[in-house]
Amino acid sequence: MVNMLISRLSYSSDHHWLQKACDLVFLILKEKPGLLQFPVLTKLSISLARAQMPVPASMILRVMLERENMPPLTILWSVVSHMVKTEIGACLASNFLVQMCDCFLHLSAKGSVRAKVVKPDAMIFNLVLDACVKFKSSLKGQEIVELMSKAGVIADAHSVIIFSQIHEMNGQRDEIKKLKDHVDEVGAPFIGYYCQFYDSLLKLHFKFDDIDSAAQLLLDMHKFQESVPNKKLRMDQEKRLLVPIGSNNLKTGLKIQVMPELLQKDSILTVKHKQELVMFRSGKLLLSNRALAKLVNGYRRHGRTTDLSKLLLCMQQDFHVLGQSSFCSDVIDACIRLGWLEMAHDILDDMDAAGAPIGSTLHMALLTAYYCREMFKEAKALLRKMRKAGFVVNLSDEMVATACLSEAANNASSSSSKSDLIDFLVREMREEEKAIPSVGYELNSSIYYFCKAKMMEDALKTYKRMQHMKIQPTVQTFSYLIDGFSSLGMYRDITILWGDIKRNVGSKDLEVSRDLYEVLHLNFLRGGYFERAMEVIGYMKERNMYCDKWMYKDEFLKFHKNLYRSLKASEARTEAQSKRLEHVKAFRKWVGID
């Protein structure tokens, strides 16, 4: 009768009755847990998820996991896909997946036959990882990527694309580069899927201020589209490839299984492509004007106009068949309009020297700009060149100057069109003033490597060097350090790091994510620093961040189940013990431990 009642209530779409069904389940769990039937819990979890009630839905899933049982994967896909539509749901789904993996690894270590019942598949990972990208939960995403490796789940094409987005958010360029060689070998039908992958890698090249790598990537993109992988490479792509996480040299490092051409037949996930720097049009990967603006601005900042000219020439030749053959003209025109006349003149000269001369229109535009700025010496040199090329015939220098100034006056009074390349160049110059310095990304990469290698002394030296250079540490900086200390059980060092985080938050130099607060809280619980744990909760409450009490409760019971359970405040031997007892009781009350 009880199961029938819960089942009937599960068919309702009313939040009130669904909550009643959930409450009834937990009431029975206290009194007679053996009464509950597994199919009833499965039905209730689906109904709660569909009704966008992620908190009770996750509670039912966790009850099933505690019994070492899970719904069929296709049903679990549905539950998770509904949960990840909201930020709180995505938080709970990601934390549930972490617990699911922990349970699977624990049962596997014991050799239990129940392990395969609770093992998540690539679809579950992809749904949660995609939500991590959507809600900018990059640190949680990184944790789940590593769990995917530990669980031995094979990453498919969707997984690889989402990995690249998470690595981009975390500034982990080396992690994407490890995947690139394999992605470069995919067949033509998969090129469109990997547009986002190349977009993410290109963005990181620019963030690292690595213009040469960015330029090479653009040329590689075109070359690999034209080449057809040989039979051996095609067969390799159908095998499970092992890609390291962290340094390639770490003997104890993780490796994730990847199949870049594997796509799930019944996939319910659609990975959305931003297509900001790399676009997919007519079966080809193309460069956007925003990416072109980043290239031009980068070469200009480094004073490497000749290298820019060489790249533009290569791109103009390579991309001609793709309908993008006006790179040189567009860049020269933008330079003239922005007043970068010397740069425009240099590119014109480089094109002439390379045997790819530009027409008269841009020469006239540059000449006009020289006259308008009264740069007569430069104008005279350009005019001499134009006469030699046959662009100016039977006109004196004075007549040409008059004509140019007249043309400039006419253009000033009329609305002349301009390409969006100019807008992107202006935006790039504004945005680079606020951007994290490239050396910040490089130092973070070093800290990440040292922490993965458990070389905490070197990690701390790099962190102190960052402070000495007055480079603002990021959320990733602190996350890597916490992860490194945690792997060695150095919880006291995390409390010291927490002091640095609070100072940065107080000075408004750092905006801490929910992911980082969560990592801090879990580590303080493991280390028994309950005052710090409650302090973190206070920070989360102030910022209206959702707190997953179930997960925190589980973590506490795992490490401190009977801590101070019967000790009274009057029985505390020291003031320190009395305060600790107070914080433990406050935590137990907050998470609902009787």
In a domain, 153, yes or no: yes
In a domain, 387, yes or no: yes
Q: Is the pLDDT of residue 252 over 90?
A: no
In a domain, 558, yes or no: yes
Domain count, the chain: 3
Does one domain contain both 292 and 251?
A: no
Does one domain contain both 358 and 296?
A: yes
Q: Which of 118-122, 136-140, 162-166, 409-413 has the lowest mean pLDDT?
A: 409-413
- Structure tokens of 109? 């270590």
Burial 38-56 (b: 16+ CB within 10 A, else e): eebbbbbbbbbbbbebbbb
Q: What is the pLDDT of residue 416?
A: 55
What pTM did the predictor assign? 0.92
Distance between CA atoms of 170 and 211, rounded to whole angstroms? 20
Query: Average pLDDT, stretch 492-510?
Result: 93
CB 22 within 8 A of CB 48: yes
CB 80 within 8 A of CB 44: no
Give residue 20's Cα distance to chain centre.
39
Top-ranked range on mean pLDDT: pick from 17-31, 360-374, 488-502: 488-502
In a domain, 277, yes or no: yes
CB 377 within 8 A of CB 397: no
Find the radius of gyration of the CA atoms of the chain.
30
Does one domain contain both 162 and 273?
A: yes
Query: Using the 8-state DSSP alphabet, how is residue 155 labeled?
Result: B
Helix, strand, coil share (%) of the chain residues, nearest 5: 70, 5, 25
Q: Higher confidence at residue 75 or residue 406?
A: 75
In a domain, 67, yes or no: no
Answer with the one of 412, 431, 450 that is the final residue of a domain: 431
Query: Average pLDDT, stretch 414-427?
Result: 78
Q: Which of 117-126, 400-409, 449-458 has the lowest mean pLDDT?
A: 400-409
Answer with the one of 257, 272, 287 that is the final residue of a domain: 287
Paired with 31 in beta bridges are: none
Does one domain contain both 299 and 271?
A: no
CATH number, residue 522: 1.25.40.10
443-to-32, 173, 181, 450, 477 alpha-carbon distances in Å: 56, 12, 25, 11, 9
Q: What is the pLDDT of residue 181?
A: 86
Does one domain contain both 338 and 399?
A: yes
Query: Using the 8-state DSSP alphabet, how is residue 248 labeled?
Result: T
The 3 state secondary structure assigned to 345-400 is: HHHHHHHHHCCCCCCHHHHHHHHHHHHHCCCHHHHHHHHHHHHHHCCCCCCCHHHH
Burial 310-335 (b: 16+ CB within 10 A, else e): ebbbebbebbeebebeebbbbbbbbb
Does one domain contain both 322 and 371?
A: yes
Q: Is the pLDDT of residue 62 over 90?
A: yes
Give residue 308's Cα distance to chain centre.
29
Does one domain contain both 449 and 424?
A: no
CB 485 within 8 A of CB 149: no
Does one domain contain both 215 and 359?
A: no
In a domain, 36, yes or no: no
Question: What does pLDDT average to over the chain?
Answer: 88
Residue 444: how many other CB atoms lie within 10 Å = 24
In a domain, 33, yes or no: no
Task: Tell me which amino acid residue 112 is.
Answer: S
Does one domain contain both 337 and 370?
A: yes
39-to-7, 124, 163 alpha-carbon distances in Å: 9, 20, 34
Q: What are phi and psi of 284, to 5 degrees?
A: -130, 150
pLDDT, tens only, 211-232 = 999 999 988 887 766 655 554 5
Q: What is the pLDDT of residue 392?
A: 78
Q: Is the pLDDT of residue 320 over 50?
A: no
Task: Please tell me whether residue 443 adopts helix, strand or coil conformation.
Answer: helix
Q: Is the pLDDT of residue 235 over 80?
A: no
In a domain, 492, yes or no: yes
Report the share of the chain in percent with pLDDT over 90: 62
Answer with the one of 404, 431, 458 that is the final residue of a domain: 431
Does one domain contain both 312 and 225?
A: no
Write out the residue range of the structural domain in which residue 180 sits: 121-287
> Which residues are CB-neighbours of 277 under 8 A, at least 6 positions away?
199, 202, 203, 287, 288, 290, 291, 294
Paired with 278 in beta bridges are: 287
Does one domain contain both 479 and 381?
A: no
Q: Which of 203-212, 322-331, 549-558 has the lowest mean pLDDT?
A: 322-331
pLDDT, tens only, 388-399 = 888 877 778 788
Q: What are phi and psi of 575, to 5 degrees?
A: -65, -35
Does one domain contain both 219 and 303?
A: no
Task: Tell me which amino acid residue 255 is.
Answer: K
